[in-house]
Amino acid sequence: MKSLFYSRFFILLPWVLIVIIMIDIDTKRTPVRSPVLGRPGGAQRHDRTRLPRANRSALPVIYAITPTYNRPVQKAELTRLANTFCQVPRFHWIVVEDSSVRTELVARFLSHSGMPYTHLNIFTPRRFKRTGMPRATEQRNTALSWLRSHRSRKDVGVVFFADDDNTYSLELFEEMRSTRGVSVWPVGLVSGRRYERPIVEKGKVVGWYTGWRPDRPFAIDMAGFAVNLQVVLGSPRAQFKRRGSQPGMQESDFLKQITKVGDLEPKANNCTRVSSLAYHCYRGNSFIRLKKVALTVTLFPLVKLSGMKHYLLI
């Protein structure tokens, strides 16, 4: 009996010692606490835009104007934008529906977005919805009218036209916030090219690298410029033209009313950074044809493109 007892004892002893050592090591670990939830085990979130509140309140407000309309991907596209915009400090989202009423879908979405917003609506007459005619003209002008009615010379800010079919990097908002007049930068996936950009020499815009009508006064995409709020307020008649405007000339027709090419402020390292800021991600077959592969392409961190065909950028 004694031999049986001792044999079992020596078999179990190593396992008991291992368990004791593991328990001792585990109790010496420092628990990781979540800065958001304040309890052990929570994942820590790195917020690149988090600033001391005193510094944040001094930042110019970015007013992003987003026209939108009812379609199957509307909420998905707005969600993509919201996931970016909610990380930007001092940000005000102006969403204008192409509708005779403010829809419940967009109203509920914005109420849960967690950011300052203004929800507007105006219906585009059917005669202006024909193929080839400028889009979202009434919506952008309605947003500009709201700014002129609700903001004053005391307010400091930047106005940016953020269409809901585009994708933006957080770095873009850091670049545009210092806009004094009208600032410009490159835009990816537009005009049948991988990118288009202003051509800059000695800090001045002298031309345009674009795949469509380089003779335009401002050969730039709607996602490629921002305007100081005081420029908008100081030019009460400046608006996007419906009558007399040719297809693709909305940007030029608007910018001609408020600035000159020589006064543009190049951002993104004199417009030489041709990636990671803004992408025109509209659907259709007008993308530059790239090598097709079975991959999902992420063009920059934090934001994942939705609804695009799978292409590898090479």
User: Catalytic annotation on 251?
Assistant: yes
Give the contacts of 303 (CB within 8 A, at least 6 positions apart): 80, 83, 84, 167, 168, 169
Q: Mind listing the pLDDT tens digit for each residue in 239-268?
A: 999 887 777 899 999 999 999 999 999 999
Q: Which residue in 77, 97, 138, 251 is the catalytic one?
A: 251
Average pLDDT over residues 114-126: 97
> Between 78 and 284, where is the model more confident?
78
* Domain extents in the chain: 57-280
Q: What is the pLDDT of residue 24?
A: 64
Do the beta carbons of residue 120 and residue 96 sit within 8 Å? yes
Predicted confidence (pLDDT) at residue 29 exceeds the cutoff of 60? no
Q: Which positions make up the binding site for Mn(2+)? A: 165
- DSSP 3-state of 15: helix
pLDDT band per the 50, 70, 90 thresholds, residue 43:
very low
Predicted confidence (pLDDT) at residue 216 exceeds the cutoff of 70? yes
Q: Which of 50-59, 136-145, 147-156, 213-222 has the lowest mean pLDDT?
A: 50-59
Fold of 57-280: Spore Coat Polysaccharide Biosynthesis Protein SpsA; Chain A (3.90.550)
Candidates 240, 202, 243, 193; CA nearest to 218 is 240
Q: What are 29's strand-pairing partners?
A: none
Q: Which positions make up the binding site? A: 165
Q: Which of 85-89, 132-136, 165-169, 199-203 has the lowest mean pLDDT?
A: 132-136
Do the beta carbons of residue 266 and residue 198 sit within 8 Å? yes
> Between 181 and 188, where is the model more confident?
181
Predicted confidence (pLDDT) at residue 314 exceeds the cutoff of 50? no
Q: What is the pLDDT of residue 134?
A: 85
Q: Which of 135-149, 163-177, 183-197, 226-240 has the lowest mean pLDDT?
A: 183-197
Q: Which of 3-17, 76-90, 210-224 has the lowest mean pLDDT?
A: 3-17
